[in-house]
Amino acid sequence: MREELLREIEAELDDLRRSNEQEEISRKAAILRNEPEIAALLTQREQLIQGTLRDMLRGQAKAEDLPGEMAGISAEIRAALHRKGYAENYLAPIYRCEKCHDSGYEGDVVKTPCTCLMARYKEKIKEQMGLDAEGNETFERFDLNVFPDSPLSGSEITQRNMMESVRTLCENWANQYPENRRRDVLLIGKSGLGKTFLMHCMANRLLERGKEVRLISAYSFLQTARKSFFENDGGTDELMDTPVLFLDDLGSEPLMQNVTIEQLFNLINERQARRLSTVISTNLSIKELRTRYTERIASRLTDSRNCLVVTLEGQDVRRNGRS
């Protein structure tokens, strides 16, 4: 997990707890000020706690005596709140998560991340990667009907049939990770065929499975690589280290001498050496990849032993107003 995101979430939870504590104090002050009957019961309960503790120290009371008496007064307080038109839990501690009470962690001795923290972590990852917050970019929402049900040029297979097969390939890869026979995926096809949507579906499925992913456009990668190259700031380290890297729209970035090709080769070569997965989409054909990025990069991207190459064909469904 990314430490900077965890720190952000923990800071959010700290703010939430402080806000809730202030609300609890405000509610109690209002009750003490405006509701004498309930205020008297609250005072009685506090005196009971203090008195029992003093008696315990003197050996005149036992710890097991306190819960029963406390429960009785607490029941009276809840009933009085209800009579006065308040919620029965109006004076109870306020928290959003029943499991961790907004601490983000469960357990007393061994603390483990709460489901609420993990859910917020996934939200932040999606925000950072630009994934759809509404959850529309999933395999479940992948609508085959936006693709024409007419044969592709020179084939009996329709574009819709082809996309159904492509969706299955990508979904199976995301479900099987990290046990895939081929670690990398290359999505090839012209604009408007659904490559980016498929990448987002794959990223969302991996996030659902608790896997660590990063999604970045080729243009953003170039900016990071350029800064890292000239300033030696280690900016590409996270891209080298993340278990599954999604690199979208390769070929849209400018070619910068001594930067683009060299940094892309370093990224792909290093990640393959570490046996990490990289999913790339591009509008370029394999021939165009060779021309633009040299044979040594193209060969690594299209090696069938390590990479699942998926070619998309057909009409631009965005231009046709079908998506």
Domains of the chain, by residue range, sit at 3-115, 130-311
DSSP summary character for residue 185: E
Q: What pLDDT, on a 0 to 100 scale, did the predictor assign at position 2?
A: 78
Q: What pLDDT, on a 0 to 100 scale, did the predictor assign at position 322?
A: 45
Q: Give CA–CA dist 307/309, Å, rounded.
A: 6
Q: How many CA atoms lie within 13 A of 153 on its CB side?
A: 4
Burial of 263 (0-12, 13-18, 19+ CB in 10 A): buried
CA-to-CA separations, 188 to 83, 166, 282, 288, in angstroms, rounded: 68, 11, 5, 11
Q: Give CA–CA dist 298/259, Å, rounded.
A: 17
Q: Give CA–CA dist 67/270, Å, rounded.
A: 62
Q: What is the pLDDT of residues 208-243, one digit of tens each?
A: 998 999 999 999 999 988 888 777 777 788 899 999
CATH number of 130-311, picked from 3.40.50.150, 3.40.1350.10, 3.30.1050.10, 3.40.50.300: 3.40.50.300
Q: What pLDDT, on a 0 to 100 scale, did the predictor assign at position 135?
A: 77
Q: What pLDDT, on a 0 to 100 scale, did the predictor assign at position 80?
A: 95
Which regions in the chain score pLDDT beneath 50?
A: 322-323
Q: What pLDDT, on a 0 to 100 scale, did the predictor assign at position 319?
A: 67
Is pTM beyond 0.75? Reply is yes
Q: Give CA–CA dist 199/22, Å, rounded.
A: 44
Q: Give CA–CA dist 292/236, Å, rounded.
A: 22
Q: What is the pLDDT of residues 268-314, one digit of tens each?
A: 999 999 999 999 999 999 999 999 999 999 999 999 899 999 999 99
Q: What pLDDT, on a 0 to 100 scale, did the predictor assign at position 173?
A: 98
Give the burial string for 178-212 (b: 16+ CB within 10 Å, else e).
Answer: eebeebbbbbbbeebbbbbbbbbbbbbbbbeeeee
Asked whether the beta carbons of 171 and 296 are under 8 A apart, the reply is no
